[in-house]
C-alpha cells in the first residue's frame, strides 16, 4: 500500500486562520519553474506526485513566482480545478484530474517559453553522446519504443517532451515519470513487475506510472544526460507489428514542420518557432520511421544510428 | 510573361532548413516546403527583376545558360502564383520609353 509522502503536509505553507484543517499542498521545481498543487483529494495529490516525483521541492521561497494549481472537491461533490488564469467545475474526479494535469503542463510550457526554453512533444534518448528525438502523436508507440531503446543501452532524456536548452542545440533531461499503457510490460521484461500494481486513469487512459528512480532500478544506467541533437525520427502511424520496420530519409524542412506541430510554443508564435526549430535541425539527420514489431524496430533504429552521417 | 516582375508577398517569409526551405504565409496560415532551387528563385523575386532576368541570374549561379533553366523557372514561378505567395507588379517599362 502506498502512503502519501509526509512532505505534503507542510504547516508553514498551509496555515490557516480558520479552525478547519489546512488543505494539503505539494511543491515541485520543474526545470526551475516552481509549481504548487493544492487539493483536498488525497488521491489527486498522489497521482500528481507519482508523475512529478523527480521534481519534488520544498515550499518555494518566491510564492508569487509559483504556478499555483488547485483541485478541490466542493460540498455538492463537484470538483473545481483552477490555475492562475481561470477555473472550471467538473462533475466527476475522472474529469477533474486530467484537467489538472493539462493545466500544469500548459502553465509549465508557457513559463519555459518565457525563459526561451522550447519543449517539443516527443520522446528523446541519447546514443553515444548524441540525442535522438522521436516525434509522434500520442498512442503511436513513443514510450514503448523509448523503453525498447533503453534496453538496447541508450539513455533516457524523456518520453513526453524533448526540452531544448536555450542558446544551445542540446536536449535536456526531463525526468517526468513515464505513463505506461497496457501491453507495454509484455514487451519490456524489466517492467513485468507493473502487473502487480494498480493502474490509474491518467491522460492516456488507465496507465501505470513509473518514476525515474524505479526505471533506473529496473534498467540500471538508463538515465541519460543532456546531449546535442543529432537525429530525428518521425513516427509514422500506429505500430504495425506484422509489418517490417522501415526508415526513410526526409528533408529537414519536412521534419521541422512535423516538430512544429508538436510544439506548443509554435501555436503562440509560429514564425519564432519556425526559426528556432529550423536552426535546431541544422546538420541533423532526419527520417521517418514505420514501426513494426518492437525488437525488429529497435534493431532497425540502432543500425540507422550507427550509420555515418551523409 | 517574361517581362513581368514577380514580387514576394509581404505576408510570406522564407526560412532555410538544411538544403530546403519553408515558405510561411502568415496571412493564410500556410507553410510550404520548397527545395533549394525554388528557394533561390524566391530570393531573386526582389520586385525589380523580370522573369527573364531571374532565369538569367538563376542560371548563372549554376553556371548554365539561361535557356537551360527558363522553363523550370517559369514552372516554379507559376507554382508560386498558384500558392498565392507572389504579387505581380506591372510589366517592366519598355526600353524605348
| Rounded to 5°, angle at Cα B94 from B91 and B96 | 175
pLDDT the model gives residue B2: 67
Take residue B64 and report the three cell numbers written for it. Answer: 548554365
Average pLDDT of span A62-70? 89
Between positions 8 and 27 of B, the ones with CB within 8 A of A are 13, 15-22, 24, 26
Partners of residue B26 in chain A, C-beta under 8 Å = 270-271
pLDDT tier at A310, thresholds 50, 70, 90: low
Going from the C-alpha of A259 to that of each of A144, A213, A244, A280, B86, the distances in angstroms are: 20, 29, 25, 11, 27
Over residues A184-216, the pLDDT tens digits come to: 999 999 999 999 999 988 877 889 999 999 999
What separation in angstroms does the CA of B25 have from each of A128, A166, A284, B77, B86? 39, 26, 25, 16, 10
Q: What pLDDT does B95 receive? A: 42
Quote the mean pLDDT of chain A: 89
Q: What is the mean pLDDT of residues A30-38?
A: 95
Interface test with B, best of A169, A249, A251 (most B CBs within 10 A): A251
pLDDT at residue A276 tops 80: yes
Residue A294 clears pLDDT 80, i.e. is over it? yes
Q: What residues of chain A lie within 8 A of the CB of B24, using their CB?
A: 270-271, 274
Q: Are strands A118-127 and A87-90 parallel, antiparallel or unpaired?
A: unpaired
> In angstroms, rounded to a whole number, what is the distance separating the alpha carbons of residues A152 and A176?
21
Confidence of residue A13 (pLDDT cuts 50, 70, 90): very low
Distance CA A131, CA A145 (A): 15
* Closest residue in B to A261 (Cα–Cα): B31
User: At residue B18, does pLDDT exceed 70?
Assistant: yes
The rounded distance, in Å, linking the Cα atoms of A25 and A16 is 13
Write the pLDDT tens digit of every residue in A84-110: 889 999 999 999 999 999 999 999 999
Q: What is the mean pLDDT of residues B77-90?
A: 86
Neighbours of B27 (CB within 10 A): 11
pLDDT in tens, A217-250: 999 999 999 999 999 999 998 888 888 999 999 9
* Structure confidence at residue A240 (pLDDT): 84
Which of A254, A278, A283 comes nearest B15 by C-beta?
A: A278
Closest to A13 (Cα-Cα) out of A32, A38, A42, A40: A38
Question: For testing the chain A interface, which of B10, B13, B18 should be mutated: the one with the most A CBs within 10 Å?
Answer: B18
Calpha distance B44→A266 (Å, rounded): 28
| CB nearest B22 (choices: A274, A282, A283) | A274
Nearest CA distance, A260 vs chain B (angstrom): 11
Q: Would you state the pLDDT for residue A12?
A: 31
Give residue-wise pLDDT tens across range B26-60.
999 899 999 999 999 999 999 999 999 999 999 99
**A3-17, A22-36, A64-78, A269-283: least confident range:** A3-17
Proportion of chain A above pLDDT 70, given as a percent = 93
- pLDDT per residue over A129-142, tens digit each? 999 999 988 888 89
Strands A87-90 and A79-82: antiparallel
| pLDDT tops 70 at residue A293 | yes
For residue A248, the model assigns a pLDDT of 96
Nearest to A257 among B18, B29, B31 (CB): B31
Confidence of residue A290 (pLDDT cuts 50, 70, 90): very high
Amino acid at each position: 500500500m502506498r502512503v502519501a509522502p509526509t512532505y505534503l503536509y507542510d504547516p508553514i505553507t498551509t496555515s490557516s486562520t480558520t479552525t478547519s484543517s489546512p488543505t494539503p499542498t505539494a511543491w515541485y521545481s520543474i526545470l526551475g519553474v516552481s509549481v504548487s498543487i493544492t487539493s483536498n483529494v488525497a488521491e489527486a495529490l498522489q497521482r500528481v506526485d507519482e508523475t512529478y516525483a523527480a521534481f519534488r521541492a520544498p515550499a518555494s521561497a518566491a510564492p508569487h513566482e509559483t504556478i499555483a494549481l488547485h483541485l478541490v472537491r466542493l460540498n455538492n461533490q463537484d470538483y473545481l480545478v483552477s490555475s492562475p488564469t481561470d477555473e472550471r467545475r467538473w462533475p466527476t474526479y475522472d474529469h477533474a484530474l486530467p484537467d489538472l494535469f493539462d493545466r500544469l503542463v500548459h502553465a509549465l510550457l508557457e513559463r519555459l517559453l518565457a525563459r526561451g526554453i522550447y519543449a517539443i512533444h516527443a520522446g528523446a534518448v541519447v546514443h553515444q553522446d548524441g540525442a535522438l528525438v522521436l516525434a509522434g502523436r500520442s498512442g503511436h508507440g513513443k514510450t514503448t519504443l523509448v523503453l525498447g531503446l533503453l534496453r538496447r543501452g541508450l539513455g533516457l532524456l524523456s518520453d513526453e517532451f524533448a526540452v531544448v536548452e536555450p542558446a544551445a542545440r542540446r536536449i535536456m533531461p526531463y525526468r517526468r515519470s513515464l505513463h505506461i499503457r497496457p501491453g507495454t510490460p509484455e514487451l519490456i521484461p524489466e517492467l513485468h513487475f507493473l502487473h502487480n500494481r494498480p493502474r490509474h486513469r491518467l491522460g492516456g487512459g488507465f496507465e501505470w506510472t513509473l518514476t525515474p528512480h524505479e526505471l533506473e532500478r529496473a534498467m540500471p544506467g538508463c538515465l541519460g544526460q543532456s546531449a546535442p541533437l543529432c537525429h530525428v525520427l518521425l513516427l509514422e502511424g500506429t505500430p504495425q507489428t506484422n509489418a517490417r520496420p522501415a526508415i526513410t530519409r526526409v528533408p529537414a524542412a519536412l521534419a521541422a514542420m512535423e516538430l512544429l506541430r508538436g510544439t506548443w510554443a509554435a501555436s503562440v508564435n509560429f514564425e519564432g518557432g519556425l526559426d528556432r526549430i529550423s536552426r535546431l535541425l541544422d546538420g541533423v539527420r532526419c527520417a521517418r520511421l514505420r514501426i513494426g514489431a518492437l525488437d525488429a524496430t529497435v534493431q532497425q533504429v540502432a543500425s540507422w544510428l550507427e550509420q555515418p552521417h551523409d | 510573361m517574361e517581362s513581368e516582375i514577380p514580387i514576394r508577398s509581404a505576408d510570406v517569409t522564407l526560412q532555410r532548413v538544411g538544403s530546403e526551405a519553408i515558405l510561411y504565409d502568415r496571412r493564410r496560415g500556410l507553410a510550404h516546403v520548397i527545395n533549394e532551387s525554388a528557394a533561390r528563385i524566391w530570393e531573386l523575386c526582389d520586385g525589380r527583376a523580370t522573369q527573364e532576368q531571374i532565369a538569367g541570374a538563376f542560371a548563372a549561379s549554376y553556371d548554365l545558360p539561361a535557356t537551360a533553366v527558363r522553363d523550370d523557372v517559369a514552372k516554379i514561378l507559376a507554382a508560386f502564383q498558384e500558392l498565392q505567395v507572389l504579387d505581380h507588379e506591372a510589366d517592366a517599362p519598355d526600353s524605348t520609353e
